[in-house]
């Protein structure tokens, strides 16, 4: 059956507006006669069905901007650091995006669609959910809320994150991540950002449908988040700027931040990291002068926090062409 263009256009207007109906609001019944019921989770099935009717433009199609030369440089550096086995075993995932020309990013993705437990890094999804609800007028960006968001991001307060998750609503956050506007969790790309549990022993809501993770991410979806943020396409340009401000001035001096302080101290950093047991992750926008890049790394190894320090030095050297390109960051945090 042919879908009239005006129907697709109307659907886009409704679903792309801030505070609009999201993928999880489309009703409870799938049509069993369609023959396309391929997901057990009804929200993923509705997302898939919606794409068949009226596919939406990807606001951050970083997969389309993979640069083989940049990817080869990244693989070469990972090889020099002895990380080939970690890449092969999918214990390490990295994405580097040169955004010096924001409209023409250059992307290197190594295991970019591999989803891992990411600890506190997915708190950026809570930040997005909060600002979507603020834009709807259902939350106030008062001094208390802003301080909670700052504490959640800059010093990674679990108390602030749990309080904010419960205020925004875990189901609401999931619907934002699944929404056609963002697709920060997308089964076509093996999942992505997910927060389904309080940052504490209790408070489990729902693990992600594909990998059963309570706090998960893929490197590429985190990179997409930062790319949309940089372009002012998270919520509104004004709220994107506010979110970016909250991500500035990191309060935890380790991994990416600790290494960059040694090799590129003049850069401006906008960052969120996460660590739990063997899982170590970090993500950052690095800006200095006319050059800028997004870096994301996820790892599953006791050595992961040291891997990330070496990786960010290599990435910074690739983008800025510095003489320290072949050096490694020291082990001490």
Domains of the chain (ranges; CATH) run 62-326 (3.40.710.10)
Which residue's structure tokens are 């320090």?
309
Rounded Cα gap, residues 113 and 331, in angstroms: 28
> What are the tokens at 277?
């047991």
**123-136 and 158-168 helices, crossing angle to 10°:** 40
Using a pLDDT cut of 90, give the percent of the chain over it: 76
Which residue's structure tokens are 């500035």?
248
3-state helix, strand, coil in the chain (%, to 5): 45, 15, 35
The answer to whether 278 and 308 are in contact (CB under 8 A) is: no
Rounded Cα gap, residues 127 and 308, in angstroms: 24
Specify the pLDDT at position 37.
61
Q: Please list the alpha-helical segments (H only) found in the chain.
A: 5-16, 42-53, 68-80, 84-88, 123-136, 143-154, 158-168, 170-178, 219-230, 237-246, 255-263, 304-320
Rounded Cα gap, residues 173 and 331, in angstroms: 36
Q: What is the largest CA-CA distance in the chain?
A: 62
Rounded Cα gap, residues 333 and 330, in angstroms: 8
**42-53 and 170-178 helices, crossing angle to 10°:** 30
| Phi, psi of 98, rounded to the nearest 5 degrees | -80, 110
CA quadruple 313, 316, 320, 321: dihedral sign: positive
Rounded Cα gap, residues 234 and 27, in angstroms: 26
Enumerate the β-bridge partners of residue 108: 96
pTM: 0.85
Which residue's structure tokens are 């003489």?
323
> What are the tokens at 172?
């609401």
* Sequence-separated (6 or more) residues with CB below 8 Å from residue 166: 198
Specify the pLDDT at position 321.
87
* Residues of the chain where predicted confidence (pLDDT) is lower than 70: 1-39, 51-55, 322-333
Specify the pLDDT at position 203.
87
Q: Per-residue b/e over 141-165, b at no fewer than 16 CB within 10 Å?
A: eeeebeebbbbbbbebbeebbbbbb
The answer to whether 123 and 170 are in contact (CB under 8 A) is: no
Query: HSE (CB half, 13 Å, CA atoms) of 27?
Result: 5
Rounded Cα gap, residues 261 and 243, in angstroms: 23
């Amino acid at each position: 059956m042919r879908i009239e263009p005006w129907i697709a256009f109307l659907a886009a207007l409704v679903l792309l507006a801030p505070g609009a109906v999201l993928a999880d609001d489309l009703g409870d019944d799938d049509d069993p006669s369609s023959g396309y019921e391929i997901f057990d989770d009804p929200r993923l099935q509705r997302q898939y069905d919606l794409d068949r009717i009226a596919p939406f433009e990807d606001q951050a199609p970083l997969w389309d901007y993979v640069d083989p030369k940049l990817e080869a440089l990244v693989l070469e550096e990972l090889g020099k650091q002895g990380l080939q086995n970690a890449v092969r075993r999918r214990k390490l995932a990295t994405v580097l995006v040169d955004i010096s020309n924001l409209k023409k990013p250059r992307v290197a993705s190594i295991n970019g669609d591999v989803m891992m437990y990411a600890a506190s890094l997915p708190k950026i999804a809570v930040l997005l959910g909060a600002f979507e609800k603020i834009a709807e007028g259902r939350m106030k960006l008062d001094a208390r809320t802003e301080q909670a968001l700052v504490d959640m991001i800059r010093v990674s307060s679990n108390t602030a994150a749990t309080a904010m998750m419960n205020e925004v609503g875990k189901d609401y956050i999931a619907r934002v991540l699944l929404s056609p506007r963002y697709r920060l969790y997308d089964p076509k790309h093996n999942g992505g950002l997910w927060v389904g549990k309080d940052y504490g022993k209790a408070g489990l809501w729902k693990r992600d449908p594909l990998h059963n993770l309570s706090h998960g991410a893929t490197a590429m979806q985190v990179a997409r988040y930062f790319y949309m943020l940089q372009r002012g396409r998270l919520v509104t340009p004004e709220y994107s700027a506010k979110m970016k401000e909250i991500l500035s001035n990191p309060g935890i001096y380790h991994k990416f931040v600790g290494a960059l302080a040694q090799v590129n101290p003049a850069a401006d950093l906008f960052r969120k990291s996460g660590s739990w047991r063997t899982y170590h992750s970090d993500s950052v926008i690095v800006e200095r002068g006319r050059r800028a890049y997004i870096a994301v790394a996820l790892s599953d190894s006791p050595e992961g926090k040291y891997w990330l320090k070496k990786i960010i030095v290599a990435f910074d050297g690739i983008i800025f062409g510095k003489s320290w390109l072949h050096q490694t960051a020291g082990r001490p945090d």
